[in-house]
Structure 1
């Protein structure tokens, strides 16, 4: 079959769905976040894309701190909600039980199985968004979501976002092990 060009916005591969936590005017604020990716191993750096018009953008710029919280599939509705309403019109500070690690301006969400606290490492200004690169200073997870001391995706039950169809999806079954599955093909 011949491939067909579907245009520049055809990026349908899934992105991890998260909730970004910041402080705005001294209180917690949350935003749905789909544009998130690990960008460096040591130091541990993670990149997030945030539109320049969002209050969250201003908060990260001012405080240099943020959290990335990974909700479970049971949290789809509340995750979507924090992406639908703006801090400019709705106070989202009391939507979640929160706690803090080392950083006072990076509210972590207790209901989320996995949370990262990050300090700003670098920013890359793009036409509509800023790529904020944060250094992960703490990873928070309850024992019940781990296997052998590491977060277990089957226990966390995260979900992903696809665009441009704008849908959430559950994560499926394991299909192989990284750095092992291809060894049989090595010569």
Structure 2
């Protein structure tokens, strides 16, 4: 396989497409699209989100010490892209995108009702990275849509229908078919259809 050198850049994909919800000290909610979000620790359960320090979401998180990471399903690609292009300083992106927020159970920031997976976080740390801040959030609660589970209680990725972002080429994609299932003793590959 021939490869092209890209130099130091942020091209690494796929990246999950998420909507980070936050609330300011007065209780006004905001959403921003973020693809730099991930689980970074199992013990304690911790999520990290990288945010530019000039963002309204960053300011809100500093004020309240909490945030929610909402997984974006492929059906909300347009709404997610909109929330990434507009600033909450200029308009109510939640209303403009036609999304609905509902109260979280552990933090002040709301859940996006249309998201099949919501992760409530309390800020546990922050790392300075130039103009960005890596916000570490202790996971306090996870909400998952009932229809995303099979009869045995296992999560079905197709039901979550996660949207991924290909940052280097600025495109959104849904996931394809399952290629493998991980086991403790290795990976079992499935035949392509």
Structure 1, unaligned runs of 5 or more: none
**After superposition, what is the alpha-carbon deviation per residue over 1:105-133, rounded to whole angstroms, capped at 9, x for unaligned?**
22101111111111111111110110001
Q: Distance in 1 between matches of 2:129 and 2:104?
A: 30
**After superposition, what is the alpha-carbon deviation per residue over 1:2-43, rounded to whole angstroms, capped at 9, x for unaligned?**
543222126232101010000024211000010011110021
Does the CA-based 8 Å contact 2:119-2:141 persist in structure 1? Answer: yes
Taking structure 2 as the reference length, what is the TM-score of the superposition?
A: 0.88
Q: Distance in 2 between matches of 1:162 and 1:15?
A: 6
Does the CA-based 8 Å contact 1:73-1:159 persist in structure 2? Answer: yes
Q: Which residue of 2 aligns with 1:129?
A: 132
Greater shift, 1-10 or 50-59, is seen at: 1-10
Taking structure 1 as the reference length, what is the TM-score of the superposition?
A: 0.90
Q: Which residue of 2 aligns with 1:107?
A: 110
Greater shift, 85-94 or 175-184, is seen at: 175-184
Q: Distance in 2 between matches of 1:101 and 1:90?
A: 23
Q: Distance in 1 between matches of 2:35 and 2:99?
A: 19
Greater shift, 132-141 or 145-154, is seen at: 145-154
Does the CA-based 8 Å contact 2:180-2:187 persist in structure 1? Answer: no
Q: Which residue of 2 aligns with 1:119?
A: 122
Structure 2, unaligned runs of 5 or more: 189-193
Q: 1:171 to 1:90 in 2, by over 3 A?
A: same
Match of 2:179 among 151, 171, 175: 175
Greater shift, 172-181 or 47-56, is seen at: 172-181
Does the CA-based 8 Å contact 1:47-1:133 persist in structure 2? Answer: yes
1:145 to partner: Cα distance: 1.4
Q: Which residue of 2 aligns with 1:40?
A: 41
Q: Which residue of 1 aligns with 2:191?
A: none
Match of 1:149 among 125, 130, 153: 153
